[in-house]
Amino acid sequence: MSTLGTSLNQATTGKIRPLNAIRDLLKVADLVELCFHHNMDREGQRYVQQMRTASKDRHFLSWASNSLPLRGYVWEDQKEIVGNISIIPFRKAKKNIFLLANIAVHPDYRRKGIARLLTQKGMDHVRKRGSEAMWVQVEEDNLGAIKLYEELGFQARALRTTWDAASQLQPKEALVKSNITTRVAHFWPQQYQLLKKAYAEELSWYRMPDWENFRPGIKYWLYRIFVENDVRQWAAQKDGSFQAGLIWIQTRTRRAPLWLAAAPDVDTETLAALLLHARFHLASQNRELYIDYPAGELNAAFEEAGFILRRTLLWMCADE
C-alpha cells in the first residue's frame, strides 16, 4: 500500500476503505448525482433513485452487501463520503472482466490524488480476483481523467456515442417508405458482418446480445420461443441491396436499445426513414429508445430521425 500512498497530496485528509452498502449507499448516490448530473440520462437517474430506495431497505442491503456488483471503495473524510469507485464483474468466453465505474470525487476534494488512489485500489482489487481485462469509461472531453487513466496503464479502445430518442413519436412524423420491410433472411450475412463492425468483439461483454441468436434458422426460432419472445427486426434496402438493419429486443426496463447495422454507403434519408419506422412501430411499447454507435458516424441520420446526442464516452482498457 505504500506505493499507492505516494501519489496522494500530503494536505489531503481522510482515508480509503471498502464500500459498506448498508451504511454508504445513500451517500454514494448523492455523490454520483453531484458529479455526473450534467450528463445523466434517465437510466442514470433511475439508478441513483434505486440506490436511495435500496438504502432504506435493510433486507435488500443485507443481501446486497455480499453481492459483487456492489463491491467498491470510498474515500471518507470526517464521516462524509467524498470519493467512490464501483467494481462491476463480467464474464465472457471464460474471461474475468471488470468495469471500474462511478469513479467520482467531490468537487471540493479534487486534484488531491484521491481519484488516482481509488482507481489504483480498484485495479489491485480486481487483479487479486483474476482479472484478465479491466475497463473504464470516461467522457471524451474529460482530459484530466483520460490522462490519469493513461498513466495507470489504460489505453483508448473505442469512442462511442449514445443517441436518445427525443420524445414519443407521433404517427404523423413517421415516414412511409416501401423499401423498409421486416428482416430479409438473405441479407443476414451482410447484416451480421456490419453488426460485428459496429459493436466490436472486445466490447461484447457489456450488455451486448449474441448476434448468432438472430441468424435465420431453427436456433433463432428457439431463441424467440424460450428466451426472448418479442424480437423485432427491420431492414432498409435500395435497388435490391441491403442498406441498414435494426434489431429490438423487449426488455424489463423502461429504457431499451436499438441495435443498428448500416452499410458504408447508406444515405441519410434511407437510414432516417428506417429509424423513424422502428420508432413508430415501437411507440406502443412505451419504452425509451436509444442507440449506442461509434462516435462521429451517421450523425445526420440520427438527428433527422429525432435522436439527441446524449454523451460520447471513451472506452479504455488495461489488459492483464
Residue 168 has pLDDT above 80, yes or no: no
Q: What is the pLDDT of residues 38-59, one digit of tens each?
A: 877 777 777 788 788 777 777 7
Specify the pLDDT at position 66.
54
DSSP readout, 9-76?
A: -TT---EEEE--HHHHHHHHHHHHHHHHGGG--HHHHHHHHHHHHHHT-HHHHHHHTTSGGGEEEEEE
CA separation for the pair 150, 153 (Å, rounded) = 5
Residues constituting the chain: 320
Q: What is the pLDDT of residues 238-297, one digit of tens each?
A: 888 999 999 999 887 788 999 999 999 999 999 999 999 999 989 888 888 999 999 999
Q: What is the pLDDT of residues 190-207, one digit of tens each?
A: 999 999 999 999 999 998
User: 277 is written with which cell numbers?
Assistant: 419506422
pLDDT, mean of residues 82-96? 93
pLDDT, mean of residues 151-159? 98
C-alpha R_g of the chain: 22
- Interior/surface letters 177-206, b for 16+ CB within 10 angstroms, e for the rest: eeebeebeeebbebbbebbeebbeeebebb
pLDDT, mean of residues 102-130? 96
Q: Which residue has better confidence, 166 or 120?
A: 120
CA separation for the pair 197, 102 (Å, rounded) = 28
User: Taking the C-alpha atoms of 294, 295, 297 and 302 in order, what is their torsion angle to the nearest 10 degrees?
Assistant: 100
Confidence of residue 2 (pLDDT cuts 50, 70, 90): very low
CA separation for the pair 284, 270 (Å, rounded) = 23
255, burial (CB in 10 Å: exposed 0-12, middle 13-18, buried 19+): middle
Residue 5 has pLDDT above 80, yes or no: no
- Considering the domain delimited by 2-131, tell me its CATH architecture: 3-Layer(aba) Sandwich (3.40)
User: 239 is written with which cell numbers?
Assistant: 435497388
Q: What are residue 149's DSSP bridge partners?
A: none
Is residue 215 within 8 A of residue 277, CB to CB? The reply is: no
Specify the pLDDT at position 54.
76
Specify the pLDDT at position 59.
72
Confidence of residue 116 (pLDDT cuts 50, 70, 90): very high
Residue 70 has pLDDT above 90, yes or no: no
Specify the pLDDT at position 49.
81
Is this structure's pTM higher than 0.85? yes
The candidate with the shortest Cα–Cα distance to 254, out of 39, 21, 47, 59, is 47
**CATH class of residue range 163-312:** alpha beta
Specify the pLDDT at position 4.
47
Is residue 231 within 8 A of residue 180, CB to CB? The reply is: no
Q: Tell me the CA distances in angstroms from 19 to 122, 128, 263, one per residue in order.
A: 11, 17, 46
Confidence of residue 74 (pLDDT cuts 50, 70, 90): very high
Residue 63 has pLDDT above 90, yes or no: no
Specify the pLDDT at position 6.
45
Residue 1 has pLDDT above 50, yes or no: no
Is residue 291 within 8 A of residue 241, CB to CB? The reply is: no
CB-hemisphere CA count at 13 Å for 295? 13
Arithmetic mean of pLDDT over the chain: 88
CA separation for the pair 42, 64 (Å, rounded) = 23
The candidate with the shortest Cα–Cα distance to 202, out of 44, 86, 90, 87, is 90
Q: Do domains 2-131 and 163-312 have the same CATH topology?
A: yes
User: 266 is written with which cell numbers?
Assistant: 447508406
DSSP class of residue 210 equals -
Residue 175 has pLDDT above 80, yes or no: no
Domain ranges for the chain, please list them: 2-131, 163-312
Q: Beta strand 133-139 with 95-105: parallel, antiparallel or unpaired?
A: parallel
Q: Which residue has better confidence, 67 or 247?
A: 247
Which residues are CB-neighbours of 33 under 8 A, at least 6 positions away? 40, 48
Specify the pLDDT at position 220.
81
